Structure 1
Amino acid sequence: MIKLIASDLDGTLLQGGAQSLDPAVFDQIRVLKQHGIRFAAASGRQYVNLRRLFEPVQDEISYIAENGSLCIHNGETLSKSLIPRGLGVRIVDAIHRCAGCDLIISGERVCYTDSRSQAFIDHMVHVVGNDMCMVGSIDEIREPFLKISVCNFDGTKECLRYLQDLFSEEIKVVTSGNIWVDFIAPGSNKGTALQALLQHLHIDPDACVVFGDQYNDVEMLQLAGTSYAMSNAAPGIAFYSTYVTDSVPEVLDDIIASLDM
């Protein structure tokens, strides 16, 4: 019996570059809750951004934010992973040498950038909707680094290869959508965060359904008893899933229909 459903956002629950959810999803979450099925948003986005996206049900769901570096349930932080400061500084220096790339460093409630690109800053604030703090240098950032993300509006193919060659032996380097590359704290991913949530709720992984579309979703897809890769997912993601789907809401409708039988 299903006890928890976790879904990635960008490219999964949010399709075609959408930055807001179909209100029907909130109704689905409420119906699932009435049947004892919890919902978790699992994303590379920051926690406060996710709460805004799910505002009508923001206190009724759980959050796996920053690609698993942060897991919060009922306002309680269940797990948090950090990038060692020295490693983070070396990563930032390498990103600065990568043409066309801008970066954000995630704290627990705010993201920082030293970018001078107004187009990038406008994208983060007005399109993505992050709470941002602009700094002259990363030396100004006083809190620990949860995650480092690289944005390249021309695509991530070149910078991904460059950054993986430099750092893949020290830290997980994964794509997160079509224009993002994420550095995730050692030992942390959406799967480890989901495991922490399931343990807290005393739910077996076999009673969990997961949706994803990128390599940052792999561990989560592997953990769940039932998993769905999106039909437009990154190459190879379907290998890690039970099924493939075009639409998360359609699968949720099917689950809800089965509950009413």
Structure 2
Amino acid sequence: MKIAAFDMDGTIYFDGKIPEEIAQSIARWRAEGNIAIAATGKSIHSARTSLDPFGVTMDYGVLYNGTVVTDSAFEVLYEEHLPQDAVAAIARHLEGIDGLNLYCTMLEGADGLVCRGVSGPTNHIISNPRPMGWQQLMHEQVVLLTAWAPDRRDLQREVDEWVTAHFDLETSHNVGFYDIMPPGHNKGWGISWLLKHLGIERDAVELYTFGDSFNDLPMHALADVSFSFPWAPAPVREQVTHVVLGVAQALEEL
């Protein structure tokens, strides 16, 4: 059995669309009896609105960086949430910091914008978030928090130091983003959970992973063969099997 797990932003999804050649290559991969997984930090809402308009269907979703696993219809197979006290404390701590936006994602609905310290448009990955104060988070089951600090790795590091000093949570750096998940959860964990759920032994699967950023490294480490791209950060390119020009060509060769 062959399984391919795809990051979305910067891997199959660019500037608000999935190129036709990538959509067709994923469709052919599935038509040949192989499994396709969306392995992304995106929420259910964001993944659905990114895939559906381009006719792309995935067999499973490992979403929110491995904190939620869904089937092809985005029905939840597994979910975990951040502790509400941690969510509220982190939101209060980051409120009013210049150069940083804090977003939250739930199982349902659009992503929320909790703190806004970046002037101008939000960003090209989290589009049209709904405003939410940290007080509202006390009544929500938050799956993932994301701090966006464009061109401020120093600020990301400061946030990481504070979060990890106060809470036992999983964290991940992305390009411009800093994600906060329930402890022990990442894309590699989510794929491993899915295999166990399906009753598939790891050695019975050829696992291929495609991803361009740091939050993809846990699933790359799990893969038989991993792929990244010339635009990925150097530390990511150094930890994959192949650096390729795009998903479509590599998938066809598999």
Q: 2:30 aligns with which of 25, 28, 33?
A: 33
Displacement of 1:59 in angstroms is: 4.7
What amino acid does structure 2 have at the position aligned with 1:113? Answer: L
Distance 1:65 1:238 in 2: 23
1:94–1:118 Cα change, 3 Å: closer
Distance 1:54 1:248 in 2: 15
Task: State the partner residue of 2:105.
Answer: 106
Q: Secondary structure at the match of 1:68?
A: coil
Q: For the aligned residues, what is the CA RMSD?
A: 2.4
1:64–1:71 Cα contact (<8 Å) kept: yes
Distance 2:201 2:107 in 1: 28
Distance 1:30 1:220 in 2: 22
Task: State the partner residue of 1:157.
Answer: 153
Task: State the partner residue of 2:68.
Answer: 70
In the superposition, the TM-score normalised over structure 1's length comes to: 0.84
Displacement of 1:158 in angstroms is: 1.5
Q: Secondary structure at the match of 2:98?
A: coil
1:25–1:202 Cα change, 3 Å: farther
Q: Aligned runs of 1:214-233 on 2, under 5 Å? A: 214-233=213-232
Unaligned ranges ≥5, structure 2: none
Displacement of 1:9 in angstroms is: 1.5
Q: Secondary structure at the match of 2:183?
A: coil
Q: 1:192 aligns with which of 189, 192, 198?
A: 189
What amino acid does structure 2 have at the position aligned with 1:238? Answer: R
Q: Tell me the number of residue pairs that the alignment of Structure 1 and Structure 2 aligns.
A: 246
Distance 1:236 1:193 in 2: 22
Return 98-107 or 167-176, whichever deviates more.
167-176
Task: State the partner residue of 1:166.
Answer: 162
- Confirm whether residue 90 of structure 1 aligns to residue 89 of structure 2: yes
1:69–1:80 Cα contact (<8 Å) kept: yes
Q: Secondary structure at the match of 1:150?
A: strand
Displacement of 1:162 in angstroms is: 0.1
Q: Secondary structure at the match of 2:159?
A: helix
1:156–1:97 Cα change, 3 Å: same
Task: State the partner residue of 1:175.
Answer: 173
1:103–1:148 Cα contact (<8 Å) kept: yes
Displacement of 1:130 in angstroms is: 4.6
1:6–1:185 Cα change, 3 Å: same
Task: State the partner residue of 1:22.
Answer: 19
Identity across the alignment (%):
20
1:9–1:42 Cα contact (<8 Å) kept: yes
1:28–1:253 Cα contact (<8 Å) kept: yes
1:117–1:96 Cα change, 3 Å: closer
Task: State the partner residue of 1:237.
Answer: 236
Unaligned ranges ≥5, structure 1: 256-261
Distance 1:33 1:252 in 2: 11
Give the structure with the larger helix fraction: 1
What amino acid does structure 2 have at the position aligned with 1:6? Answer: A
1:94–1:163 Cα contact (<8 Å) kept: no
2:39–2:63 Cα contact (<8 Å) kept: yes
